[in-house]
């Protein structure tokens, strides 16, 4: 299946050697329909190019006769705000009236592939960073076609026409609404070249704009994947193996079928080579009751049983030896350095725990398969569904549903839950049934279901001279690889190092860092988690730099600025902004409060935090966070502020006691929010977000707000207690 996935997801089928353009006439949906695609030039794209592909209509923007402009968003919207930001980009170049703007999520399709990654994916904080120019050009071409249509009607030079808020205005004051011009514009050729606006002309980009989906979400009318309702649809609940890869030895299907509403009990393939049992019923509750009645005895003899305590001991022992080299530096001065810092850091597995648990609705027929799912990875998920169903990808329709969070869990290289849902549909159909089936995971299924942020151990040894300068730094990381065994392995693992394990180490500091890594193996499925490797590397880097500043007797901000290479001007700007806005070094804090500082770059965006914390009832308490953010051009400052607030709260969640996934005898010990802690409203500090002004192309924002929060908080705790926190979640007693 991996080979089939890579063949189908390798991003060659939808790539052209030059820009390919698409337009459809009024017969398709009424009005002007325009879209285009860029060649795949990113790291996920193959080098070989394919012939241009003829795509279906309605690609990126539809101008309807009633003047509404619908933007088709080529990503998943799961809270990050792309349902508004990408329409803003098109609206500006189109000169549209914002009141007429609408947005829809794109289905799986070649035309919707990320122009850098070469596949349809929402990840790597890449939506605006990768599609900003793409969507600007779509808007500019649509505008040019509308102007040309008006000029043709008025028999004037298009260059003498202008546009304003959804209207073309002629040289003699003639006016024509976009909606009235849409059919005529659709019949004109798509311009090969367009001139984009100067940023000074932006009407929407850079302004705080209310979200297009705010009303639907706040009134409860927004439809998520979990809300899909189809005629004749049944609900499936799955009994997963308690140990990853295990199989049922026995189960009582008759007891489950005795539950009113249960229509089928199906044994199906499970992730990682295991087997599971699905109960299909008229609704969720009878399906769950049926599952509870199965009385399954599991055969776990043939699978490894991971154990967190044993794994930590193994990782710690392994960290004492050098791993595969990631970055080389001379550490000969370490032995005789006047000052030394030695530290071992521990990081647990983490669950994504989105508010909407995993779900997928499948309607499987002999020659077609239709899915309704909140997918971060439409290209891969459609290919996996096709391979599972024994169909071609073009026979699979994947409708992208709005999702209630994901943080990476809905973008899995194995497409585990998609494959599971299609396997249920296959077994259901093979048993003589017809109609769609909606698979729903419970919260417990979600917490215990795997694909966690990997656990890691870091071992660091630093040497400082008598002036506090770092003269040697030897560093070893041990952890599972996210990429190993996936189609990404070939380019993400080089010379034995998974790039996600070491990202964020070293830069922007001019330090002699000798870095190596060990890839460990464990029977625990792992995956990227919001900000990927920076979830742990930022904590290590920023607490160690802070510790070095203390050893040098230096102010932690001044010490960082001295160490940050001058070429990293964005780091200086973000840090300076956070410091200035927080009042650090000038404002007198309340008694028992202390400052903490951290700065980190991820996904080409720099975030600096200055935090204010205290110890309350024996536990660390975060009161205020001031953020300096350098994400270049800010498309929607309101969305960026919300993203920073959410990321900071999620970063804070990593520090809270109970924020860990642990395993004993192969079984995940946590099952719900009662024993897997996430940050709540009462944990939320006051957060002020400040953006460094910039006219450069925008960078990512969905993830960069998370990594520097925990180290800034830990650095404040040190100033309050004198204790250096070496692991997450925080444990003052063990420090």
SS3 at position 27: helix
The pLDDT value given to residue 21: 39
Other Cβ atoms less than 10 A from the Cβ of 295: the count is: 11
The pLDDT value given to residue 31: 59
Reported as a single tens digit per residue, the pLDDT across 180-213 is 999 999 899 888 889 999 999 999 999 999 999 9
Other Cβ atoms less than 10 A from the Cβ of 196: the count is: 13
316 dihedral zone (left: phi>0; alpha: psi -120 to 50; beta): alpha
Per-residue CA distances from 93 to 155, 197, 362, 525, 693 (Å):
24, 7, 38, 44, 21
Q: How confident is the model at residue 34 (pLDDT cuts 50, 70, 90)?
A: low
Enumerate the β-bridge partners of residue 605: 602
Reported as a single tens digit per residue, the pLDDT across 407-430 is 999 999 999 999 999 999 999 999
Tell me the backbone φ, ψ of residue 339, rounded to 5 degrees: -130, 140
Say if CB 419 and CB 662 are below 8 A apart. Answer: no
507 vs 582: CA distance, rounded Å: 24
The pLDDT value given to residue 2: 31
Say if CB 609 and CB 602 are below 8 A apart. Answer: no
354 dihedral zone (left: phi>0; alpha: psi -120 to 50; beta): beta
360 vs 345: CA distance, rounded Å: 38
Reported as a single tens digit per residue, the pLDDT across 270-282 is 999 999 999 999 9
SS3 at position 104: strand
Tokens read off for 258: 């005795």
400 vs 225: CA distance, rounded Å: 8
Say if CB 117 and CB 43 are below 8 A apart. Answer: yes
Say if CB 595 and CB 719 are below 8 A apart. Answer: yes
Helix axes 178-186, 127-154, angle to 10 degrees: 90
Cβ neighbors of 286 (< 8 A, separation 6 or more) are 259, 260, 261, 262
Q: What does the pLDDT average to over 385-413?
A: 98
Cβ neighbors of 217 (< 8 A, separation 6 or more) are none
Query: Taking 90 as the threshold, does the pLDDT of residue 26 lie above it?
Result: no
In CATH, which of 3.60.15.10, 3.40.250.10, 3.30.365.10, 3.40.190.10 is domain 319-350+452-734? 3.30.365.10
Reported as a single tens digit per residue, the pLDDT across 510-561 is 999 999 999 999 999 999 999 999 999 999 999 999 999 999 999 999 999 9
DSSP conformation letters of 411-423: --TT-HHHHHHHH
- Segment (H or E) for 400: strand 396-400
Asked, colleague to colleague, whether 225-301+358-440 and 319-350+452-734 share their fold, the answer is: yes
Query: Taking 80 as the threshold, does the pLDDT of residue 3 lie above it?
Result: no
Query: Taking 80 as the threshold, does the pLDDT of residue 28 lie above it?
Result: no
420 vs 399: CA distance, rounded Å: 17
509 vs 566: CA distance, rounded Å: 10
- For residue 508, whether the previous peptide bond is cis, meaning omega lies within 30 degrees of 0, is yes
Cβ neighbors of 228 (< 8 A, separation 6 or more) are 361, 372, 401, 438
SS3 at position 617: coil
Spacing of C-alpha 421 from chain mean position: 22
405 vs 420: CA distance, rounded Å: 20
Which alpha helices (H) appear in 347-468, and where do they start and end? 378-389, 416-430, 443-448
CATH-assigned architecture of domain 2-219: 2-Layer Sandwich (3.30)
The pLDDT value given to residue 719: 98
Q: How confident is the model at residue 32 (pLDDT cuts 50, 70, 90)?
A: low
- Helix-, strand-, coil-residue percentages of the chain, each rounded to 5: 30, 25, 45
Tokens read off for 114: 């990320």
Tell me the backbone φ, ψ of residue 455, rounded to 5 degrees: -80, 150
Closest CA to 343 of 56, 545, 626, 635: 545
Cβ neighbors of 154 (< 8 A, separation 6 or more) are 161, 170, 172, 174
Closest CA to 213 of 354, 373, 81: 81
SS3 at position 97: coil
- ∠182-127-4 over CA atoms, to 5°? 100
150 vs 557: CA distance, rounded Å: 59
Ranges of each domain in the chain:
2-219, 225-301+358-440, 319-350+452-734
Percent of the chain residues topping a pLDDT of 90:
90
- Segment (H or E) for 324: strand 324-327
DSSP state of 578: H
Reported as a single tens digit per residue, the pLDDT across 647-678 is 999 999 999 999 999 999 999 999 999 999 99
Closest CA to 286 of 265, 260, 267: 260
- In 52-185, the DSSP E strands lie at 61-63, 69-73, 101-105, 162-164, 167-169, 175-177
Cβ neighbors of 530 (< 8 A, separation 6 or more) are 352, 407, 408, 647, 650, 702, 703, 706
Query: Taking 50 as the threshold, does the pLDDT of residue 340 lie above it?
Result: yes
DSSP conformation letters of 602-613: ETTEEEEEEEEE
Residue 350 or residue 21, greater confidence: 350
The pLDDT value given to residue 59: 87
400 vs 109: CA distance, rounded Å: 11
Closest CA to 506 of 465, 547, 534: 534
User: Which class for 398: exposed (0-12), middle (13-18), buried (19 or more C-beta within 10 A)?
Assistant: buried
Q: Does domain 225-301+358-440 have CATH number 3.30.365.10?
A: yes
The pLDDT value given to residue 533: 98
Closest CA to 146 of 204, 203, 191: 191
Query: Taking 90 as the threshold, does the pLDDT of residue 54 lie above it?
Result: no
Per-residue CA distances from 652 to 23, 535, 601, 628 (Å):
47, 11, 18, 17
416 vs 388: CA distance, rounded Å: 11
Q: CA neighbours within 13 Å on the CB side: how many for 532? A: 21
Tokens read off for 293: 């009645």
- Strands 359-364 and 605-616 turn out to be unpaired
User: Which class for 513: exposed (0-12), middle (13-18), buried (19 or more C-beta within 10 A)?
Assistant: buried
pTM, 2 dp? 0.93
């Amino acid at each position: 299946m991996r080979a089939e996935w890579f063949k189908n997801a390798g991003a060659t089928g939808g790539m052209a050697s030059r820009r390919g353009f698409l337009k459809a006439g009024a017969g398709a949906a009424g009005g002007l329909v325009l879209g285009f695609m860029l060649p795949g030039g990113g790291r996920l794209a193959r080098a070989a190019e394919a012939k241009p592909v003829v795509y279906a209509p309605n690609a990126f923007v539809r101008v309807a006769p009633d003047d509404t402009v619908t933007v088709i968003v080529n990503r998943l919207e799961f809270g990050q705000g792309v349902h508004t930001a990408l329409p803003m980009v098109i609206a500006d170049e189109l000169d549209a009236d914002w009141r007429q703007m609408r947005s829809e999520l794109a289905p799986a399709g070649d035309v919707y592939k990320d122009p850098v990654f070469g596949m349809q994916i929402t990840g790597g904080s890449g939506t605006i960073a990768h599609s900003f120019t793409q969507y600007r050009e779509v808007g500019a071409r649509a505008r040019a076609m509308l102007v040309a249509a008006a000029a043709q009607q008025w028999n004037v030079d298009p260059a003498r026409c202008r546009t304003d808020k959804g209207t073309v205005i002629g040289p003699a004051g003639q006016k024509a609404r976009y909606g009235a011009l849409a059919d005529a514009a659709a019949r004109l050729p798509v311009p090969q070249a367009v001139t984009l606006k100067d940023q000074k002309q932006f009407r929407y980009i850079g302004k705080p704009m209310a979200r297009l989906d705010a009303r639907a979400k706040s009134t409860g009318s927004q439809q998520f994947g979990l809300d899909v309702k189809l005629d004749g649809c049944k609900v499936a609940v799955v009994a997963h193996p308690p140990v990853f890869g295990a199989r049922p030895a026995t189960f009582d299907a008759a007891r489950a079928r005795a539950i009113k509403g249960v229509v089928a009990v199906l044994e199906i393939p499970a992730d990682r080579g295991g087997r599971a049992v699905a109960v299909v019923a008229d609704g969720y509750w009878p399906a769950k009751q049926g599952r509870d009645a199965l009385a399954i005895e599991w055969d776990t003899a043939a699978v490894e049983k991971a154990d967190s305590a044993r794994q930590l001991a193994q990782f710690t022992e392994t960290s004492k030896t050098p791993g595969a080299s990631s970055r080389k530096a001379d550490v000969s001065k370490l032995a005789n350095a006047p000052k030394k810092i030695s530290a071992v850091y521990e990081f647990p597995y983490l669950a994504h725990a989105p508010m909407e648990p995993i779900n997928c609705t499948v309607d499987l027929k002999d020659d077609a398969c239709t899915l309704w799912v909140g997918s971060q990875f439409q290209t891969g998920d459609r290919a996996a569904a096709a391979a599972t169903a024994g169909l071609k990808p073009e026979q699979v329709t994947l409708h992208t549903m709005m999702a209630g969070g994901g943080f990476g869990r809905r973008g899995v290289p194995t497409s585990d839950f998609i494959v599971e849902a299609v396997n249920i549909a296959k077994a259901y159909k093979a048993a003589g049934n017809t109609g769609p089936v909606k698979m729903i995971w419970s919260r417990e299924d979600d917490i215990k279901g795997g694909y966690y942020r990997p656990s890691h151990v870091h071992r660091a040894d630093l040497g400082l001279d008598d002036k506090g300068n770092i003269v040697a730094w030897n560093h070893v990381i041990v952890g599972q690889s996210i990429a190993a065994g996936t189609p990404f392995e070939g380019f993400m693992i080089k010379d034995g190092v998974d790039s996600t394990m070491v990202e964020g180490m070293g830069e922007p500091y001019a330090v002699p860092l000798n870095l190596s890594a060990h890839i460990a193996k464990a029977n625990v499925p792992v995956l990227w988690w919001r900000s990927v490797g920076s979830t742990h590397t930022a904590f290590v880097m920023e607490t160690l730099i802070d510790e070095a500043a203390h050893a040098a007797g230096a102010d932690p901000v001044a010490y960082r600025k001295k160490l940050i290479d001058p070429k990293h001007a964005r780091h200086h700007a973000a840090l300076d902004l956070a410091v200035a806005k927080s009042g650090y070094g000038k404002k007198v804090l309340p008694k028992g409060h202390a400052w903490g500082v951290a700065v980190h770059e991820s996904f080409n965006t720099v975030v600096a935090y200055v935090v204010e914390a205290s110890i309350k009832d024996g536990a660390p308490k975060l009161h205020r966070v001031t953020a300096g953010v350098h994400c270049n051009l800010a498309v929607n400052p309101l969305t960026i502020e919300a993203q920073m607030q959410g990321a900071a709260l999620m970063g804070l969640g990593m520090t809270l006691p109970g924020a860990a996934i642990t395993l004993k005898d192969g079984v995940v010990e946590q099952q719900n929010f009662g024993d897997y802690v996430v940050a709540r409203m009462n944990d939320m500090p006051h957060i002020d977000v400040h953006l460094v002004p910039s006219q450069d192309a925008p960078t990512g924002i969905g993830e960069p707000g998370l990594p520097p929060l925990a180290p800034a908080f830990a650095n404040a705790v040190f100033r309050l207690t004198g204790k250096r926190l070496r692991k997450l979640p925080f444990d003052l007693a063990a420090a």
